[in-house]
Structure 1
Amino acid sequence: MNFHAQIADSAREAARIAAGTGQDRLDGPTPCADYDTRTLVNHLVAYTGIGMELRARREPHPDDLATRDFTADPQWARHYAEQLDRSVAAWADPAVWEGEIASMPAEGTAAMLFLELCLHGWDLARATGQDYRVAAATAERLLAAVREYGEMYREYKGFAEPVEVPGGAGDLETAVALSGRDPYWAG
């Protein structure tokens, strides 16, 4: 199933949140216990910006991708938004959704990139005092992906144990809680 519209929606939101992240906020805490804001931004840019396009093109990640400090460039947020546009465009090709990427069905690779984009986009929004807003269809797809891949992510320490889902929680809050994050984290 191609969910390109939800990838595009979450990419627009990640770009908006990045644009609202000042250099003065990069040393603060995030909902990801192992990441300060700078580390989170660098992870987000590496894997959901550059990495998402490379996966669509079936090209390997550069050896130094995980260690680059994208935030050293004061224009990192603009460059990230431009890269997200290229990544979203790469996934617009229906042929990208066929076959395998890195020994996994292309749709599964897309789902894991989508999880990174949404959840770390949410993390960055929370870390910088911004709201995270995506369409209902995007939140619904996120929840489905968290349910499908949650155990695997926990096995590899990508997710913590699920947090209790608050009563009346929507799809976004439920997805966040099931990924091991406090949906109401405020620093």
Structure 2
Amino acid sequence: MNTTDSATVESLRPVWRGVLAASYQALERTVAGVRDGQEDNVTPCSQWSVTQVIQHAAGDQLAYAMKLGVGNGPAYDPFAPSGTVDGTAAGLVKEAVEQTAAAWATVSDDTATVPTPLPHGDLPTPVAAVMCALDAAVHAWDIAVATGQPSPLDDELAGHLLAAARGIVEPLRQWGAYAAVVEADGAPSATPVVDELLRYLGREPR
């Protein structure tokens, strides 16, 4: 199921590689900022600890890489993370991001569609890439909130992520990938687009 319109696809076409890079950087930096003793902190993904969100985020990236023809995918179910990491969480994420970045590097700019691990299947390349980025960026935010770090999102990045999300996320809610939209509370914010994205993904910005 692809509900993304052509205008959205074209708006994301010149930026998708940069959006991916920024989102990967956000995830890696945030995971690197987790301090000893914070691994079991509760996150906005209320059923998961910090370590479980990290495992989930890494697993999702490996699933995208596999769909693009690189690697064998995660060795565990990203939707049932154990909370125990072999090695370091930073190492797990670094390996996943490097593999997925390598996979996207094989995709040429004129590739019309690519396969994804989403129920939608194949999606227009810019949308698929930004949805992959969205997964990394929003979980970076989850981890940052849980560990007292600054938000890794800004309005420019959030605007691109929101453009892709509006066409794709809605049917994913029935599988529990995202919660229901959170209504705005009217409080002013220095990052209104970030707040809009987070609320759309079922998160309370503050």
| Greater shift in the superposed pair: 128-137 or 139-148 | 128-137
CA contact (8 A) 1:31 1:126 kept: yes
Between the aligned partners of 2:24 and 2:155, the Cα distance in structure 1 is: 15
| Greater shift in the superposed pair: 16-25 or 86-95 | 86-95
Unaligned runs of 5+ in 2: 1-8
Between the aligned partners of 1:134 and 1:90, the Cα distance in structure 2 is: 24
The residue correspondences of 1:85-164 to structure 2 (distance < 5 A) are: 85-95=98-108, 97-102=111-116, 103-107=121-125, 108-164=127-183
TM-score, scaled to structure 2: 0.75
Kindly state the Cα deviation for residue 31 of structure 1 after the two structures are TM-superposed: 0.5
Per-residue CA deviation, residues 93-143 of structure 1 (Å, 9 max, x unaligned), is 443853331532253433432221121111111111111234543211112
What amino acid does structure 2 have at the position aligned with 1:104?
A: D
Between the aligned partners of 2:154 and 2:17, the Cα distance in structure 1 is: 13
Which residue does the alignment assign to 2:66?
54
Once the two structures are aligned, what percentage of the paired residues are identical?
25
CA contact (8 A) 1:40 1:124 kept: yes
Q: Secondary structure at the match of 2:37?
A: helix
Between the aligned partners of 1:47 and 1:23, the Cα distance in structure 2 is: 24
Higher relative helix content: 1
Between the aligned partners of 1:74 and 1:11, the Cα distance in structure 2 is: 20
* Count of residue correspondences: 183
Between the aligned partners of 1:36 and 1:70, the Cα distance in structure 2 is: 7
Kindly state the Cα deviation for residue 82 of structure 1 after the two structures are TM-superposed: 4.2
What amino acid does structure 1 have at the position aligned with 2:66?
A: L
Kindly state the Cα deviation for residue 16 of structure 1 after the two structures are TM-superposed: 0.2
Kindly state the Cα deviation for residue 17 of structure 1 after the two structures are TM-superposed: 0.2
Between the aligned partners of 1:74 and 1:12, the Cα distance in structure 2 is: 20
CA contact (8 A) 1:6 1:137 kept: no
CA contact (8 A) 2:19 2:157 kept: yes
Per-residue CA deviation, residues 157-181 of structure 1 (Å, 9 max, x unaligned), is 2111111224444211110011111
What amino acid does structure 2 have at the position aligned with 1:51?
A: A
Distance 1:166 1:144, change over 3 A: farther
Kindly state the Cα deviation for residue 87 of structure 1 after the two structures are TM-superposed: 1.9
Between the aligned partners of 1:70 and 1:146, the Cα distance in structure 2 is: 28
Between the aligned partners of 2:114 and 2:98, the Cα distance in structure 1 is: 23
Between the aligned partners of 2:89 and 2:133, the Cα distance in structure 1 is: 21
Which residue does the alignment assign to 1:5?
18
Kindly state the Cα deviation for residue 62 of structure 1 after the two structures are TM-superposed: 4.8
Per-residue CA deviation, residues 66-90 of structure 1 (Å, 9 max, x unaligned), is 3665853343303422431332232
Between the aligned partners of 1:94 and 1:63, the Cα distance in structure 2 is: 24
